[in-house]
Structure 1
Amino acid sequence: MDPRDDLLKLENQLCFALVTAARNVVSIYRPVLEPLGLTHPQYLVMLALWEHAPRALGELADELAMEPATLSPIVKRLEGQGLVTRARSAADERVLEIALTTEGAELRTVALAVPEQIMARVAMDATELAALRDGLAPFSGRRSG
């Protein structure tokens, strides 16, 4: 038996562990986000917009590490829910700007309870979650500094 055989076991694959963890995290968020009327990808878009809006679709896609073609239908659904607007930029009509509606901005107040609910569900405090998040930074595709 080749000693490298263990390297090909599914249970030893980093990619499998990360994909499984990501799926599990989304399932933890699902019941917390349902009362807000948001899916996990929609929640990520709203988080980014609550930090800074309006912003261009391309800029939003970059921040969320998504392709604009993937992000566009998510934004369209948020627009259908009355949470965001999409409009061509007055300065450059090639740029699609995404802005919060009043309802979208007000949803932030309700969303303030989400982090505490997630911490309770995973039995971790903010410091532990920050350490876990920071430990994943090398895998995020983003480089700091």
Structure 2
Amino acid sequence: MSVTTTTHLNFRGAAREALDFYQSVFGGRTVAVTYGDAGAVRDESEADWVMWGEVVGDNGFHVMAYDVPSKLPWDQGENPFFVSVRGDDAEEISALWDKLAKGATIVRPLEPAQWAPLYGMLTDGFGVTWVLDVAAPRHG
């Protein structure tokens, strides 16, 4: 069992541009799933925004990004990133969640999601927002 941490950057409509830029700097491959791809469009003007994206380089570089939907508050200066903790063992991720959740504000409970066996988000007592999830098997 192992977990990894990855910086998860938050944008409003600029995630794809940022991911492409970071890929041009660090190399690697870019994956981006839009709200439209995921069938999660709530505002048609945001259908092509990135719901989940990442750049992974052979050199170890890894960054994730998404576009915060307009229905959610967002201020680049106040919440520009998340720390993503991803693993492949639900028990391990759940145990980490339980420890981080003490004194935290739960943004989204740790539970199954359309895109992951487990997914949750919380903001700890230090103001750091954490995203914990169990990686879904990749196809294609």
Is the TM value for this pair above 0.5? no
Q: Which has the higher strand share?
A: 2
Q: Which has the higher contact order (CA 8 A, sep 6+)?
A: 2
- Look at both structures and tell me which one has the larger radius of gyration over its CA atoms: 1
Normalised by the length of structure 2, the TM-score is: 0.25
Normalised by the length of structure 1, the TM-score is: 0.24
